[in-house]
Amino acid sequence: MSIRPIVTVPDPVLREKAKPVRKITPEIQNLIDDMIETMRQAPGVGLAAPQVGVGMQVMVVEYAEGSENADADAEPKPKKLYTLVNPKISRHSKETELGKEGCLSIPDYMGEVERYGTVTVKSLDRHGKSFKLKARGWLARIFQHEIDHLNGVLFIDRTENVWKVEPEEAQEASETV
């Protein structure tokens, strides 16, 4: 496994539609392992293949559900790692939520972005097996942000409310995807 450099704007790979994976080859397995390591090191809670310069429909997410609003007394939930190949949003709620987002490919900026409150995602796992998952709140936001990356869409396309983060208010890893 190795850490790959994270591509930032205005690299054109971030604006291309990623190609579906036809076959899960050793190269794809290697890409997934590298993406997990790169996401953890960044640190971030999600990473899409175009962010390491690869225009393939692969993304990883690692997040402890509910940790964005955990109260101090609550037992922290364990982090869960998700690997998605060729993911699609198959259903989503009508209702949307506004929330703050950052992106590893747009360093030092944040924005307030409207996202669906719940989404159902259909995908293949890293072994090519199909699965479905339902996410809400921040986890749903992360999936929507990463699937956007696979379509060449960045959070700055979805909001006009974007601001530069001052060095003293460093971006929280949990908000960076």
Active site residues: 146
User: Residue count at the site for Ni ion (CB under 5 A)?
Assistant: 2
- H or E element, residue 34: helix 26-41
Q: What is residue 152's three-state secondary structure?
A: coil
Closer by beta carbon to Ni ion, 95 or else 160 = 160
CB nearer Ni ion, residue 12 or residue 128: 12
Q: Comparing C-alpha atoms, which of 85, 90, 26, 82 is closest to residue 56?
A: 85
Residue 65 Cβ vs Ni ion, minimum distance, rounded to whole Å: 19
Cβ proximity to Ni ion, 24 vs 109, nearer residue: 109
Within positions 84 to 143, which residues make up the interface with Ni ion, using CB under 5 A? 103
User: According to the binding rule CB under 5 A, does residue 177 interact with Ni ion?
Assistant: yes
Residue whose beta carbon is closest to Ni ion: 103
- ∠51-57-60 over CA atoms, to 5°? 60
Alpha-carbon gap, residue 160 to 19, rounded angstroms: 29
From the CB of 61, what's the least distance to Ni ion, in Å?
11
Sign of CA dihedral 123, 57, 174, 91: negative
Chain contacts with Ni ion (rule: CB under 5 A) = 103, 177
